[in-house]
Amino acid sequence: MRVAVLGSGPGWHTRDLVRALEARGHEGRFLPVDSIVARVGSGPGLAIDATDLGSVDGVLLRTFPRGSLEQIVFRIDALHHLERLGVPVLNPARVIERTVDKFHTSALLEQAGLPTPRTVVAENMDAAMEAFRAMGDVIVKPLFGSNGRGIVRVDDEELAYRVFRALALERAVYYVQEAVPSADGGGGRDLRVFIVGGVVVASIWRTSDGWRTNLSRGARAARAELCDSWRDLALGAARVVGAEYAGVDLFPAPDGTAYVLEVNGSPGWRGLQPFADTDIAGAIVGHLESLAAMHDSAAGC
């Protein structure tokens, strides 16, 4: 197979995917996703540099670089068009649409009956302040974002006013989520569960001295053994958004409830690989092989 690995830069994860592709006899090439050129009325319809994306056998999407609303919409549109051309894309565009937007993810989780913390999303500062007063201790997150960037914990009304006022100046959407106490009495411990093709391939505890648990911000990782209920919860969350592969964050609370905090549709695995029994990049490539084979079979009917 000829596979395009789309992302914001040729970093560790991109190189790991190319390695896994080559180890299985495929050709993998990194291409910057913000360099897509679309043509209507003349070919190729979608290309990056000299590569016709419509002619590749599969696309692995790593990350989207930050951009304006128009830029993000165009990239999503391009992925949708690739799928219409019959190119398998991991993750599909519909999954990126659902997981890049925290409100969309939270609403889908609630609709499916999966436990997720109380959340209020609004454009109105008064509504955000009302949500803070009702919950008392909240995590304020950007609607779009990852790796813990732009996240603030607020448990003081004056600080809440200052944070919300700053967001108002940016014309941001307020995503205000209840800060659920952790089962161990602290706040800096949660689970990251990595799923590929409906199978859990790795799971870790992420622990930090503060309340943020992102490995990219210095949290510590340790192997986690999942009980059946946590495994089912993580798999259910991935199914709700339709993810072919995903990183699901679970947060065990003192009352025994495990909450789904987030479903990441373009998750990293560098911090998980040392605790996994399988090659995670290889599992992703193997799943792409299966989808490509299913596509070829269906095309031959």
Residue 185 has pLDDT above 90, yes or no: no
Q: Which pLDDT value is given to residue 211?
A: 78
Least confident of 56-65, 107-116, 151-160, 176-185: 176-185
Cis ω for the linkage preceding 214 (within 30 of 0): no
H/E element holding 70?
helix 69-84
72 compared with 212, residue with greater pLDDT: 72
149 compared with 187, residue with greater pLDDT: 149
Q: Which pLDDT value is given to residue 42?
A: 81
The alpha carbon of 3 is separated from its chain's Cα centroid by a whole number of angstroms, namely 21
Mean pLDDT along residues 205-210: 85
d(CA 77, CA 71): 10
d(CA 278, CA 201): 7
Query: What confidence tens digit (pLDDT) does each residue in 152-168 have?
Result: 999 999 999 999 999 99
Helices (H) and strands (E) in the chain, counts: 8, 16
Q: Which pLDDT value is given to residue 295?
A: 72
Q: Which pLDDT value is given to residue 286?
A: 97
Report the interhelical angle of 102-111 vs 228-241 (nearest 10°): 120
Mean pLDDT along residues 103-126: 96
Residue % of the chain over a pLDDT of 70: 95
Query: What confidence tens digit (pLDDT) does each residue in 14-36 have?
Result: 999 999 999 999 999 999 999 99
When the pLDDT of each residue in the chain is averaged and rounded to a whole number, the result is: 92
Mean pLDDT along residues 58-83: 93
**Three-class secondary structure of residue 175 per DSSP:** strand
215 compared with 107, residue with greater pLDDT: 107
Domains, the chain, with CATH or none: 2-97+283-299 (3.40.50.20), 119-178 (3.30.1490.20), 182-268 (3.30.470.20)
Q: Do 18 and 3 form a contact (C-beta atoms < 8 A)?
A: no
243: left (phi over 0), alpha (psi -120 to 50) or beta: beta
Query: What confidence tens digit (pLDDT) does each residue in 232-256 have?
Result: 999 999 999 999 999 999 999 888 8
Q: Which pLDDT value is given to residue 65?
A: 82
Residue 301 has pLDDT above 60, yes or no: no
Mean pLDDT along residues 172-190: 81
Mean pLDDT along residues 209-233: 88
